Structure 1
Amino acid sequence: MKKYEIILRDLEKKIIEGTYPENELLPSENQLTEIYQTSRATVRQALKILEESGIIQRRHGFGSIVIPRERLMFPISGLISFKELKDSLNFVSTTEILTFEKITVDKQLSELSFFEEGAQAFHILRRRNIDNSFVILDRDYILASIAPNMTEDMIQTSLYAYLEQQLNLDISYAQKEITIDFVNTEDKDYLDLNPKDRHVVSVRSHVYLSDNSIFQYTESRHQVDKFRFTEFSRRQKH
């Protein structure tokens, strides 16, 4: 395990256990370099991952503050699998696969996904249980040409683990769109919504490989009061 990973795991553990409480500052970068006997660059790498995971917020000249976890923090800008997010934020979750089938891309799906009409794709529908409630509904379309032998068993634990570790695919970047949508019939059927819920938060993503070819289109629908979506933005000088 690399040094920054050791620091990352130790800081996560201390935040979860309350050693570093919510709304309080972590030790400074200089203090952390002394605590872990490492370089400032290594400490910054661990802090950067904590920030991208929505666990802390770094403010220039102020420090790193622990973000309250009454809602799970979902980073917008990163490209991270649900399993990786779960492991990073250390919450308990299970996944149920509702649909796994191979389909032919029709005109409507082609316009949504940017896949070529007539191509073969895997259609995967999963729901995520967090704190004993189903609060996320994930629909994925994966081009069958990049994973022709994919089975339901292969993706039971993690779709991206299968694609990257077994197929050696280089997943590079995603273009995302976030909207507030009205609750539909599927949401009512598969999510444990509150009686007064009228909306869900939808995150639609087109995901690309390192050669700039699209291979995945996904729509993830979230119960509105369970999550907080975060993004780290840096101002560009003009």
Structure 2
Amino acid sequence: MTNNIYWTLYKDYADQIETGALQPGSKLPSENELAATYQITRETVRKGLNLLAQNGYIHKVKGKGSFVLDTGRMNFPVTGLVSYKEMAERIGRKSRTIVYETECVPAGDAIAKELQTRPDRLVWKVIRSREIEGERIILDVDYLLADIVTGLTREITGDSIYQYLEQELHLKISYSKKIISVERATTMDQSYMDLGSDTHVVVVRGYVHLEDTTLFQYTESRHRLDKFQFVDFARRESNHDFGDK
């Protein structure tokens, strides 16, 4: 039973933070106080607090305690290949995909350059906005090589393209390069997103490769500034070449 109490502590405080009972910046009770409240050891308390920190609920400051973070922004992974459908399921918020365009067209000069191919090569052009809790806060514009991604339909693009690629076409998606920038909102952004008075968006450009290194997808994922924080996990590797420098 004791082994699971840290999970109870985690759930108690995660629920309070998500419901707003604990506001951003609030300080959690000390480890000693939590240990007394839950009748557990400080080591078990630390497990619960570490889980809260790992999932973006709190920030632990050495010597000062644990403080509630602003969870109003959704975490968008910088590394890793996660589809929107997978991300939406993780954040647990009401969402839907609105498909504006799914058509097969010649790549043209600009997209051919991004996909390192010929301008006359056919690509799927897919334009979708992502609505979360009633607001369109992401605009995705995707280009996929049509001779690799066959049989794409509006129904598929309204659900999950990656699920279709992996489960129906049995393609093995391997890795991607991402470039993130803040840019002035375009006319398309204004039309397909609920930007309000915002004049800029965060743009994540992605170049996605198959297992055999084929570049088959170029995407522009455009995000409302106030709704996302872009997260990464990095570990410093040991380096024994520095000596006494």
Q: TM-score, normalised by structure 1?
A: 0.75
Distance 1:235 1:102, change over 3 A: same
Which amino acid in the other structure matches residue 218 of structure 2? Answer: Y
Contact 1:115 1:214 in 2 (8 A): no
**Cα distance between partner residues in 2 of 1:11 and 1:204:** 39
Q: Please, what is the CA RMSD of the aligned residues? A: 3.6
**Cα distance between partner residues in 2 of 1:224 and 1:183:** 11
**Cα distance between partner residues in 2 of 1:166 and 1:56:** 37
Q: Answer yes or no: is 1:98 the counterpart of 2:100.
A: yes
Which amino acid in the other structure matches residue 15 of structure 2? Answer: E
Residue equivalent to 2:200: 199
Question: Aligned with 2:226: secondary structure?
Answer: coil
Contact 1:15 1:66 in 2 (8 A): no
Unaligned runs of 5+ in 1: 1-9, 36-43
Could you give the per-residue CA deviations for residues 29-70 of structure 1, whole angstroms, max 9, x where no partner exists? x749x99xxxxxxxx9xx7xx95xx646898x99x9985411
Query: Residue 16 of structure 1: CA displacement?
Result: 5.3
Larger-gyration structure (1/2): 2
Distance 1:19 1:204, change over 3 A: closer
Residue equivalent to 1:148: 150
Could you give the per-residue CA deviations for residues 112-158 of structure 1, whole angstroms, max 9, x where no partner exists? 23233321110000001112111110000111111221211123211
Question: Aligned with 2:151: secondary structure?
Answer: coil
Residue equivalent to 2:243: none
1:155-194 correspondence to structure 2 within 5 Å? 155-194=157-196
**Cα distance between partner residues in 2 of 1:85 and 1:230:** 13
Percentage of identical aligned residues: 33
1:32-181 correspondence to structure 2 within 5 Å? 51=54, 55=56, 68-181=70-183
Q: TM-score, normalised by structure 2?
A: 0.73
Query: Residue 12 of structure 1: CA displacement?
Result: 9.3
Unaligned runs of 5+ in 2: 1-7, 35-40, 240-245
Residue equivalent to 1:218: 219
Distance 1:170 1:16, change over 3 A: farther
